[in-house]
C-alpha cells in the first residue's frame, strides 16, 4: 500500500506533467519575446532614444503555468532622464512596436500590447513597462525600477526549482489566493518563487505553512530591516530591498486559506487540490430559495463603476463597503455579511442583514441623574421642549427618553443617506450625480443581468 509521502510525490509528478509548458510552447514564447525586444531596441535606435528592453517575470524565469504565459518586457532608460521624459518616450516607443495596445496605469503608465504570431496563429499579450536603469535597488526612482533586480535575483537561483514553483502556483490558483492585485490580495508570482527558494520544495513549504503563526517572518538573505506594525500576517523580506515586505499584499484570509489547505493536503493528498472548481453561475431562482431558507434580507447598492484600474477601484469599494456597513449599524440595524463586486460597467455593494426593519421609536439614554449640570441640559432639550416635549424615564440611574427613528428600514436609509458615507474619491463621484445609484432588496436583485454576478453570489454563499 502506498504511503502518504509516495502518494504526495505521485500526485505532484502527475500535476507537473499537466501544467509544465511543453517544448513547443517554450519555443514560441521565447521567439515572441525575442521579436518584441528586437523591435523595441531597433525602434529606439531609429528614434534616437537611449533605451533597451529586457524580459522579466515568469516567462524570463521559466515559471509560468502551461497556457498562461504573462509576457513582461521592461524598457530601461537612463537614470538622468526626467519622469516626464520617461513617460513620454517610453510610451511612444512601446506604442510604436505594438500591433495594437491599451494604455494602462499602475505606479505609472505602461502599455498592454498585443502581438500576432503568424507561425503559431496566436495573438500574444505583453506588458511593456518603461523604467529607470538604476545601478542598485537602493537608488530607485519609481517602484517598478525594483523589478529588474527581482528578475536578476531569481534567474540566478531558480534553475532546478521551476517545477516546485509551478506546483505552488497551481495550488494557489485553485484556492483562489494567487495574485497580489487588490481584488484578490493573495500571493504574487515573485513571492511564490521566494517561498520555494527558501523551503526548497513545494512539499516542504506546505509542511512549514501548516505550522505558520500570525506574523511569520522569512528572510532569505538575513538582512531584513522591515519591522511592520504587527499588521502583516506574513513577512517575507525582499532580498533586494531589506526594508520591504514582499508579502505585504497577502490578506489574513489568503494567509489562513493556505495554512488550512496545506494541512488538508498533507493529511490526504489529492489531485483535486490542483483542479479549478467548475461551477455554474447562481440563478435567480436558486438565490431566492437561499434567501428564504436563511431568513435574512439582502440589500444591494448598484452604480456605474468608476473607470479606474482594479488596484485603484477595489480599495475604494472596500472602503465604501466598510463605511456603509457602519452607517447601517449606527442606525440600529445588524449586518451579517457583506461583499463587493464589479461586473461590466457596474459596481455592486452587497449587504446581508439580520435586522433590516425596526420600530418607529427607540430609547435615547441621557446622563446620570446625579450629574446635575448635564441633567438640566437634557431636561431642557427634551422635557421642556415647547415644540415637542418628551416624557422622561429613569432607568439604571440615567434619564431616558423615547425618540422617533429617522429610518425604520435599511433601504430608505441607504436611499437617503448613502452620500454621507466616506466612499473614496472615485466611488463618491460616481454616485454623486443625479440618479447615481440604486438600492435593491431580495427579489429586486437581478442576478441574470450579468453572468459574473451569478458567479459572485455562488462564491458569496460557498465556504472554503
Instruction: Decide: pTM greater than 0.85.
Output: yes
Coil, strand or helix: which one is 256? Answer: helix
**Which CATH number describes the domain made up of 162-274?**
1.10.1410.30
The answer to whether 277 touches 302, Cβ cutoff 8 Å, is no
Task: Give the pLDDT of residue 440.
Answer: 96
Nearest to 271 by CA among 10, 2, 3, 1: 10
- The answer to whether the CB of 190 falls within 8 A of the CB of 150 is yes
User: pLDDT at position 1, please?
Assistant: 38
pLDDT on residue 435: 85
Give the H/E segment covering residue 437. strand 437-441
CATH architecture of 284-358+408-461: 2-Layer Sandwich (3.30)
pLDDT per residue, tens digit, the chain (464 aa), is 356 689 999 999 999 999 999 999 999 999 999 999 999 999 999 999 999 999 999 999 999 999 999 999 999 999 999 999 999 999 999 999 998 999 988 778 899 999 987 777 789 999 999 999 998 877 888 889 999 999 999 999 999 999 999 999 999 999 999 999 888 899 999 999 999 999 999 999 999 999 999 999 999 999 999 987 778 999 999 999 999 999 999 999 999 999 999 999 999 999 999 999 888 899 999 999 999 999 999 999 999 999 888 888 999 999 999 999 999 999 999 999 999 999 989 999 999 999 999 999 999 999 999 999 999 999 988 988 777 788 899 999 999 999 999 999 999 999 999 999 999 899 999 999 888 999 999 999 988 766 689 999 999 999 88
pLDDT score recorded for residue 384: 80
Q: Note the pLDDT of residue 2.
A: 54
Pick the CATH number of 18-142 from 3.40.800.10, 3.30.460.10, 3.30.750.200, 3.40.140.10: 3.30.460.10
Q: Could you give the CA distance from residue 28 to residue 304 in angstroms, rounded to a whole number?
A: 40
Q: Where in the chain is the domain with CATH 1.10.1410.30?
A: 162-274
Count other Cβ atoms within 10 Å, centred on residue 114: 13
Contact 452, 343 (CB under 8 A): yes
**DSSP string computed for 348-392:** EEEEEEEE-B--SEEEEEEEETT-HHHHHHHHHHTTT-SSS---E
Q: What burial class does residue 297 get, using C-beta atoms within 10 Å of its C-beta: 0-12 exposed, 13-18 middle, 19+ buried?
A: buried
Per the CB < 8 A criterion, the answer to whether 43 and 97 are in contact is: yes
Which 8-state DSSP code applies to residue 305? P
pLDDT of residue 444: 94
Euclidean distance between CA atoms 377 and 395, whole angstroms:
18
User: Do 92 and 7 contact (CB within 8 A), yes or no?
Assistant: no
pLDDT tens digits, one per residue of 123-139: 999 999 999 999 887 78
Q: Contact, 71 vs 29, CB < 8 A?
A: yes
Cα 245 to Cα 229: distance, rounded to the nearest angstrom: 12
Q: Write out the CATH class of domain 361-404.
A: alpha beta
Q: For strand 437-441 and strand 398-404, is the pairing parallel, antiparallel, or unpaired?
A: unpaired
User: Residues of CATH 3.30.460.10 domain(s) within the chain?
Assistant: 18-142
pLDDT at residue 450 in the model? 64
Amino acid at each position: 500500500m502506498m504511503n502518504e509521502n509516495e502518494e504526495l510525490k505521485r500526485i505532484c509528478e502527475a500535476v507537473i506533467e499537466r501544467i509544465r509548458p511543453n517544448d513547443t510552447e517554450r519555443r514560441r514564447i521565447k521567439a515572441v519575446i525575442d521579436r518584441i525586444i528586437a523591435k523595441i531596441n531597433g525602434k529606439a535606435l531609429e528614434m534616437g532614444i537611449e533605451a533597451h528592453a529586457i524580459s522579466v517575470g515568469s516567462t524570463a524565469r521559466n515559471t509560468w503555468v502551461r497556457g498562461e504565459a504573462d509576457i513582461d518586457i521592461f524598457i530601461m532608460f537612463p537614470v538622468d532622464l526626467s519622469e516626464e521624459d520617461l513617460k513620454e518616450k517610453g510610451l511612444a516607443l512601446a506604442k510604436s512596436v505594438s500591433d495594437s495596445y491599451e494604455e494602462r496605469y499602475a505606479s505609472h503608465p505602461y502599455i498592454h500590447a498585443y502581438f500576432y504570431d503568424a507561425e503559431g496563429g496566436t495573438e500574444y499579450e505583453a506588458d511593456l513597462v518603461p523604467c529607470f536603469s538604476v545601478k542598485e535597488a537602493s537608488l530607485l526612482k519609481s517602484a517598478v525600477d525594483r523589478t529588474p533586480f527581482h528578475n536578476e535575483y531569481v534567474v540566478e537561483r531558480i534553475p532546478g526549482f521551476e517545477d516546485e514553483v509551478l506546483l505552488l502556483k497551481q495550488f494557489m490558483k485553485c484556492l483562489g489566493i494567487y495574485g497580489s492585485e487588490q481584488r484578490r490580495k493573495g500571493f504574487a508570482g515573485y513571492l511564490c518563487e521566494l517561498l520555494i527558494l527558501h523551503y526548497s520544495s513545494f512539499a516542504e513549504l506546505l509542511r512549514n505553512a501548516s505550522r505558520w503563526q500570525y506574523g511569520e517572518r522569512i528572510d532569505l538573505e538575513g538582512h531584513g530591516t522591515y519591522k511592520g506594525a504587527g499588521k502583516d500576517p506574513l513577512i517575507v523580506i525582499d532580498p533586494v530591498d531589506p526594508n520591504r515586505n514582499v508579502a505585504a499584499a497577502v490578506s489574513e484570509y489568503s494567509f489562513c486559506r493556505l495554512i488550512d489547505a496545506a494541512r488538508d493536503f498533507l493529511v490526504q493528498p489529492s489531485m483535486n487540490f490542483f483542479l479549478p472548481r467548475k461551477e455554474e453561475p447562481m440563478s435567480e431562482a436558486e438565490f431566492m430559495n437561499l434567501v428564504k431558507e436563511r431568513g435574512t434580507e439582502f440589500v444591494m447598492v448598484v452604480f456605474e463603476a468608476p473607470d479606474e484600474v482594479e488596484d485603484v477601484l477595489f480599495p475604494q469599494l472596500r472602503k465604501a463597503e466598510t463605511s456603509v456597513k457602519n452607517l447601517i449599524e449606527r442606525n440600529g440595524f445588524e449586518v451579517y455579511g457583506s461583499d463587493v463586486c464589479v461586473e461590466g460597467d457596474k459596481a455592486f455593494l452587497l449587504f446581508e442583514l439580520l435586522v433590516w426593519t425596526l420600530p418607529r421609536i427607540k430609547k435615547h439614554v441621557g446622563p446620570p441623574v446625579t450629574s446635575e449640570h448635564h441633567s438640566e441640559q437634557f431636561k431642557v432639550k427634551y422635557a421642556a421642549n415647547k415644540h415637542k416635549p418628551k416624557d422622561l424615564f429613569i432607568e439604571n440611574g440615567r434619564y431616558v427618553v423615547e425618540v422617533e427613528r429617522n429610518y425604520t428600514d435599511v433601504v430608505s436609509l441607504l436611499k437617503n443617506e448613502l452620500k454621507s458615507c466616506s466612499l473614496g474619491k472615485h466611488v463618491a463621484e460616481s454616485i454623486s450625480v443625479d440618479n447615481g445609484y440604486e438600492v435593491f432588496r431580495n427579489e429586486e436583485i437581478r442576478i441574470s443581468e450579468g453572468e459574473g454576478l451569478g458567479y459572485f453570489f455562488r462564491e458569496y454563499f460557498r465556504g472554503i
